[in-house]
Structure 1
Amino acid sequence: MNRIERAFSQGKAFIPFITAGDPSLEVTQQLVLQMAEAGADLIELGIPFSDPIAEGPIIQDADARALSGGVTTDQIFDMVARIRKSCDTAIAFMTYINPVYTYGTERFLKRCSEIEVDALIIPDLPFEESEELKPYCNEYGVKLISMIAPTSKERIAMIVKEAEGFLYCVSSMGVTGVRNEINNDAEEMVRLVKEIKDIPCAIGFGISTPLQAAEMAKFSDGVIVGSAIVKIVEQYGNECTPYVKEYVRKMKEAVVS
């Protein structure tokens, strides 16, 4: 059983997201270790990018802070290598296609493999263009995670057939961010997916409270939360770790209850 399979094998998975390097790589490293301790099943690490088109203001600002602090992709790779010395929780990189191309696609995937990054999520990579990355992902044992949204409609079947690891189900249209209400399109998406393939479905975009997480977990295999956590990081800066840990603990309790 690989780490991603394990993440979904013990009931509902809780998947937190943070931006690497915000407020610093040292704090990011501690956050990953403490979130894993608090019950996170898979951790998404955002590689900061100057034009994160899928992100709302909260994560855009985090990317800007990390980049202005001088964070590089190589430094993030080195940090994950340090994390792997004591943490075996599944890790996925969330990034955009430009940083991967700039780094060199094969070189990027090879490095992911060396530091045991389990998956790659690229919101601006259309499914139809995923073949540009797929051979390298396959060669180096990194899962390329597919995303579907309420607008995917007839494309869902095509995407699901090729999906691996887990499916990232975007709960609502627009960019990432905290939302007061989440529509019920996600439930219909998960139902469609399960008719085609038995693959874990994790729901993200907009979830921020334990109540929302519990509602989404009723019909999905996992819940992804980013902006709400990044907001805590922004609020408490270098002192954010205990606050994030407590938040993750509460959200994990909510999804398994």
Structure 2
Amino acid sequence: MGKLQVNNLDKAFGAKSVLENVTFSVDEGEFVSLLGPSGSGKSTLFHLIGGISTPDTGEIYLDGKQINGKSGAISYTPQSPSLLPWRTILQNVLLGAELHGEKNEKEAVKMIRRAGLAGYENAYPHQLSGGMKQRAAFVRSLLSPQSIICLDEPFSALDEFTRLEMQQWLLKIWNEHKKSILFVTHNLEEAIYLSDRIIVLSTNPATVKKEFNIPFTRPRDERILLSEEFLQWKKVIYQELKNY
């Protein structure tokens, strides 16, 4: 499972309207990216989906059940890895599962090793690089029982080479587990490379301007980043982004 449906969301803070009539969906096992300018309400949208706050109007459904204002329905990975410094990497990746009473150390150790973190199970976050911390944070999301993962610009602080390496790793692991992913990024190439579908948001108040279905087959090969077809998609979506 993991079908998310967002219907006609409105959200304002005082006199400032942030979201206006936002409607979109994420199908089971689908990878969907949200693109929009800074301050367009993407983080607010994640807070609404995660139940941290409630919309003024509109509904959010997960697998047919309304989740307005209900926390714990999604797994959320913010821009920074947010690993607890006093817990080991193993203890950190188990946190989400622990909170739901589903702790499985054997599976956690297996996933840590699959993430290229073998030997770091008992290390602490300050002993890991930025990319390693992000891998641990994503493993934590995968081990949590929720069927949909929301990723808020998880690679924005990484250098270009580490970022591409993390994108490739994310696709490999996601392809095996097929959880639904809603991914926020400002990076157009990243959105095209990772996604099944891209949703373009307007500036404030944010609304859905356009959706693009990305046709590249999976598994994705990094060579498509240099292809003519990739460049054409980049041009088309860039033109849409220019017209905020």
In the superposition, the TM-score normalised over structure 1's length comes to: 0.35
- Larger % of strand: which? 2
In the superposition, the TM-score normalised over structure 2's length comes to: 0.37
